[in-house]
Chains A and B, each alone.
Chain A
Amino acid sequence: MGRYVARRLLQMIPVFIGSTLLVFLMMYALPGDPVRALAGEQAVDQAQIAQVKKDLGLDLPIWQQYWNYLAGLFQGDFGTQIATQRPVADVIADAFPITVRLTLFAFAFTVIAGISMGVFAGLKADTFRDRGLLVLTLLLISVPSFVLAFLAQYFFAHELGWVEPVVSAAADSQELILPAVVLGSLSLAYVARLTRTSVAENLRSDYMRTAVAKGLPKRRIIGVHLMRNSMIPVVTFLGTDIGTLMGGAVVTEGIFNVQGVGYNVFQALKSREGSTVVGIVTLIVVVYLVSSLIVDLLYAVLDPRIRYA
């Protein structure tokens, strides 16, 4: 077990370097550059631009720029935003807690609502309520999240007036509920369907028949015998889902004006702030890797047939 974890942690190093390099190269490949973006529409002296670039080290060959970035990263320096002169570490420190909160809300919503809907439908597969769930989730899967976001904004903020249409800079927890529901709705659909299929399938298994034959109460049959087995595939999905929720918040954060990670990535992309994009994306990659490791370990807890050596 310990060796397995150590091996997985070591494997993260090449993944980490690879993903930073990839994002770095992509940023380099994009047309336009951050210095020119600074000036906006104004005409600027070419020599001046060249000078600024030289000062920032942007005139060096790409591999050297990447090396400098990595060297800085290992000293805890995420770089500095060119336009605002803020350290990227500060930007991340401001944005990350908001996104983490948003993600946790969305995740909690996905888990609680998704699993209960899935169990509810799966216990009575092929009935009216099961079909209803399948149609509803299909709808959630096929409607793009920005449509859902605007619809939610329209109904809950403009029509019903329950919430403000956009989230304030402070991003209070109660303001984040609506964006979290919108953000989590796609995962909710997947989790509900996965749970439903898994429950319906396990319901027909021999050990469920045994549990009934043992004269156990219904609550115990479902709560202990059915759920432990049915949760195995769902947990796998949920683990990778945390990463997806964090990264996928770009659109939702944009619409609800949540100044989190996704919002900052979007701003940085517009102004070609390479170091900001790479820094944030790398962090999301790390979250993704860690959560998938936790899932794999959880897997062995749920299913004793899986052993790590």
Chain B
Amino acid sequence: MTIIDKTADVPAPRGSTENSGPLLDVRDLHVEFKTRDGVVKAVNGVNYSVSAGETLAVLGESGSGKSVTAQAIMGILDMPPGRIPQGEILFRGEDMLTMGYEERRKIRGQKIAMIFQDALSSLNPVLTVGYQLAEMFRVHQGLSKKDAKAKAIDLMDRVRIPAAKERVNDYPHQFSGGMRQRIMIAMALALEPDLIIADEPTTALDVTVQAQVMDLLAELQREYNMGLILITHDLGVVADVADKIAVMYAGRIVETAPVHELYKRPAHPYTRGLLDSIPRLDQKGQELYAIKGLPPNLLKIPTGCAFNPRCPKAQDICRTDVPPLLSVTERDGGELPGRHSACHFWKEQIHG
């Protein structure tokens, strides 16, 4: 399996004397969970990389392994039952999987931060938001209670929470959903990390607020030149903010592409299916396309291509051979940077 190429002309990482490779490089990552019914193979050889200032969108259905990959990067998998039998997660060239607990802890929050889906349950209900924000400064920078609180108010201002000064001592349940997600974002931004992982940051919000939160996130990312991994199943969100996309299915990446190319010419039938199932105004009144079948049971992933039972174009080879993630080229063999597909028939898919 190959490593996803960086997209061209990415701004140099902050403090750029350090190595010039990607910020985060996930190599051949495997994650499995031991359950009573057997071993669930949630992630089966994922490769991706993110550079500073770049946004990678990881797309996929529930259970495709996109969140588990993120949790493995963050080091917040429950182990056991979780296990990482294979793979590397390089942050600035250092493998985080071989680091000690303390070393890893210092990266969390400070260098890599995470935004979770459900801000209500992800914030501690019995502590004020000010306390939870200030905690970042107190623990990582050793600030006094008072200074940390002042910084917390600044942060709340920066994510545009009105009347931050008055609300700093409020509890999470006293905020609306959108405001709570802003607090989550503020918490992730607190120490100006190099990389932010946003795990479906807008799924729990209503549509108007979704756009506001995404805009805010994109704006702050530009301002700080951070790397961003955006995990989502919402193709609409992705188009506006992402630089490149990785589509995941059954714990593997099935296609990667720069964002607009993917929408124009998908190179995998699964991506095609996802795109076709977006409701479109010009097809009003017609039946909406849906990928038939269900995501595979991770205890028993189908042989060959995991997508073959649901694929409209499946052939015999799809049921026996696992398609590797190969570079995709133009019809004349011209290079398509950053494009890969794990389909035996990617040529037919992209050019057909």
Contact = CB atoms under 8 A, between A and B. Distances in A.
Interface of A: 204-207, 209-217, 220, 224-225, 228-229, 302-305
B317 interface: no
A211 B126 contact: no
Interface in B207-263: none
Contacts of B121: 205-207
Nearest to B125: A305
Most buried by A among B74, B123, B124: B124
B122 A215 contact: no
Nearest to A226: B124
B322 interface: no
Interface stretch (B11-19, B110-118, B270-278, B335-343): B110-118
Given A215-B108, A215-B140, A217-B139, A209 B187 contact: no
A304 B126 contact: yes
Contacts of A209: 76, 116, 122
B110 A215 contact: yes
Given A215-B106, A215-B139, A210 B171 contact: no
B127 interface: yes
Nearest to B139: A216
3 closest residue pairs by CB, A with B: A215-B109, A215-B108, A206-B121
Given A206-B116, A220-B139, A305-B173, A213 B125 contact: no
Given A220-B139, A304-B171, A305-B173, A210 B123 contact: yes
Contact of B124 (A210, A215, A217, A302): A210
Nearest to A303: B126
Contacts of B109: 213-216
Contacts of B110: 215
A214 B108 contact: yes
A interface majority secondary structure: helix
Contacts of B124: 207, 210-211, 225, 228-229
Nearest to B174: A304
A170 to B, nearest CB: 45
19 contacts: A206-B116, A206-B118, A206-B121, A207-B125, A209-B122, A210-B116, A212-B75, A212-B108, A213-B76, A213-B108, A213-B113, A213-B114, A214-B187, A229-B125, A229-B126, A303-B125, A304-B125, A304-B126, A304-B128
Nearest to A205: B121
B136 interface: yes
Interface residues of B, number: 29
Nearest to B113: A213
B130 to A, nearest CB: 13
A288 B127 CA distance: 30
Nearest to A211: B124
Given A228-B126, A304-B171, 6 more contacts: A207-B124, A207-B125, A213-B114, A214-B109, A214-B135, A217-B105
Contacts of A211: 124
Nearest to B74: A213
B40 interface: no
Contact of A228 (B105, B127, B135): B127
Contacts of A228: 124, 126-127
A194 B185 CA distance: 35
B144 to A, nearest CB: 16
Interface in B20-75: 74-75
Contacts, number: 74
B107 interface: yes
Contacts of B74: 213
Contacts of A303: 125-126
Nearest to A210: B122
Most buried by B among A211, A214, A224: A214
A305 B122 CA distance: 16
B105 A302 contact: no
A199 to B, nearest CB: 15
Contacts of B140: 215
Nearest to B110: A215
A302 B171 CA distance: 12
B156 to A, nearest CB: 16
B102 to A, nearest CB: 8
B152 to A, nearest CB: 13
Contacts of A205: 121
A77 to B, nearest CB: 47
A134 to B, nearest CB: 20
A212 B76 contact: yes
A303 B172 CA distance: 12
A214 B196 CA distance: 12
Contacts of A212: 75-76, 108
Contacts of B123: 207, 210
A224 B132 CA distance: 11
Contacts of A214: 108-109, 113, 135-136, 139, 187
A92 B113 CA distance: 62
Interface string B129-151: 00000011001100000000000
Interface string B282-302: 000000000000000000000
A211 B116 CA distance: 12
A204 B81 CA distance: 13
A280 B5 CA distance: 82
A35 to B, nearest CB: 59
Contact of A302 (B106, B126, B135): B126
Contacts of B126: 228-229, 302-305
A220 B126 CA distance: 15
B135 A216 contact: yes
B122 A206 contact: yes
A229 B135 CA distance: 17
A215 to B, nearest CB: 3
A192 B68 CA distance: 34
